[in-house]
């Protein structure tokens, strides 16, 4: 009987998009962790987050019932079981990539509905572009989208009423994988008539006493903005400022245009409201975030949904999709 580590050399356990076994993304995350010496650098090179890479490696360790990585001050190194997996993973991924690029373009059309749950920024400014491009290529596919806040995307996706989610914050949840599909900057927004509108950058002290127009508590935009300030040793002076809390980005920008205060919004959203509102930035480096596609790797999805996910991920990497819908 083969040992747990000997099972690694069986190529038929690779999921390649079907249910059961491993996932090629998990294998790529494991290889990157070894190649770049640790989770954080692997995440940076792969354009994702450290929690996502960690979850992918942990899934492999559960699959084989063995520790695959050993960590010390010099970085991450494969264990004996990890060495066997690494050899297999490199060979399998190379063969898989070669097969994908050599496959002929299929003629079978896709049909069905892709159900998307998204937070405000990606839902209003990223998903429509992805959906338009995909449905142009696959006219028999329909897109159904609902908007909620970032905190609600993961919980609704786990209900399995929705196929795929988009959010401006990695939910760091075990069952879901978050993969980056875009970048966004978070900025301050003011009306052209606002006293601070002539400035290009502000200190947080300059915001004291100014009315702040913010999204609700579950907003990823607000959470990431506050965390970015905290990472710099700063904070919004909310105890010294009146606050107007609104339930959508459109509402925040409408209040900004009416010169009711200073909004915290996505730069993608603000682009559609210029010149009625203009962007200001906190002094220092821009506050950037990734926009994520969320999906459940263990869930069996219909071909048209898998094709949409592949197309969105390929678009996020800056190249057109090569998905084969006959698979």
* Rounded mean pLDDT for each run of 10 residues along the chain, 327 residues in total: 37 39 83 89 84 91 90 87 90 78 61 94 93 95 93 88 91 83 93 93 89 88 89 83 90 95 93 88 90 90 93 76 39
The pTM of the full predicted model, rounded to 2 decimals, is 0.64
Which region holds residue 103: left if phi is over 0, alpha if psi is between -120 and 50, else beta? beta
CATH of domain 6-102: 1.10.10.10
H or E stretch including 91?
helix 80-102
Q: What is the pLDDT of residue 21?
A: 56
Q: Which single residue is written with the structure tokens 């730069």?
A: 267
Q: Is the dihedral of CA 172, 177, 183, 189 positive or negative?
A: negative
My answer on whether omega of the bond before 60 falls inside 30° of 0, hence cis, is no
H or E stretch including 184?
strand 177-190
CATH of domain 184-289: 3.40.190.10
- Ranges for all domains in the chain classified under CATH 3.40.190.10: 184-289
With a CB cutoff of 8 Å and minimum separation 6, the contacts of 253 are 189, 263, 265, 269, 270, 273, 277
- Ranges for all domains in the chain classified under CATH 1.10.10.10: 6-102
Tokens of 197: 């509108």
Q: What is the pLDDT of residue 107?
A: 46
């Amino acid at each position: 009987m083969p040992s747990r580590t000997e099972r690694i050399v069986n190529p038929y356990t690779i999921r390649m998009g079907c249910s059961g076994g491993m996932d090629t993304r998990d294998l790529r995350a494991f290889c990157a962790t070894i190649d770049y010496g640790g989770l954080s650098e692997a995440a940076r090179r792969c354009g994702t987050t450290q929690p996502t890479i960690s979850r992918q490696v942990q899934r492999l360790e559960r699959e084989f019932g063995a520790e695959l990585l050993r960590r010390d001050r010099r970085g991450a190194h494969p264990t004996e079981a990890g060495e066997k997996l690494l050899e297999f993973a490199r060979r399998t991924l190379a063969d898989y990539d070669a097969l994908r690029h050599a496959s002929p373009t299929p003629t079978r059309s896709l049909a069905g509905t892709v159900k998307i749950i998204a937070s405000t920024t990606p839902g209003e400014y990223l998903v429509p572009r992805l959906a338009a491009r995909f449905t142009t290529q696959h006219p028999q596919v329909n897109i159904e989208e609902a908007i909620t806040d970032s905190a609600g995307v993961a919980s609704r996706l786990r209900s399995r009423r929705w196929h795929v989610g988009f959010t401006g914050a990695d939910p760091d949840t075990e069952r879901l994988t978050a993969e980056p599909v875009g970048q966004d900057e978070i900025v301050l927004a003011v009306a052209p008539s606002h006293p601070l509108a002539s400035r290009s950058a502000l200190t947080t002290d300059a915001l004291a006493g100014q009315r702040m127009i913010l999204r609700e508590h579950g907003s990823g935009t607000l959470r990431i903005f506050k965390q970015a300030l905290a990472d710099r040793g700063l904070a919004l002076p909310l105890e010294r400022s009146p606050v107007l809390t609104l339930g959508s980005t459109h509402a925040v920008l409408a209040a900004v245009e009416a010169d009711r205060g200073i909004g915290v919004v996505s730069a993608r959203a603000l682009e559609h409201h210029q010149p009625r509102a203009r962007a200001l930035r906190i002094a220092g480096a821009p506050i950037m975030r990734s926009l994520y596609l969320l999906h459940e790797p263990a869930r069996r999805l219909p071909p048209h949904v898998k094709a949409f996910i592949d197309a969105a991920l390929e678009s996020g990497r800056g190249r057109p999709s090569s998905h084969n819908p006959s698979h």
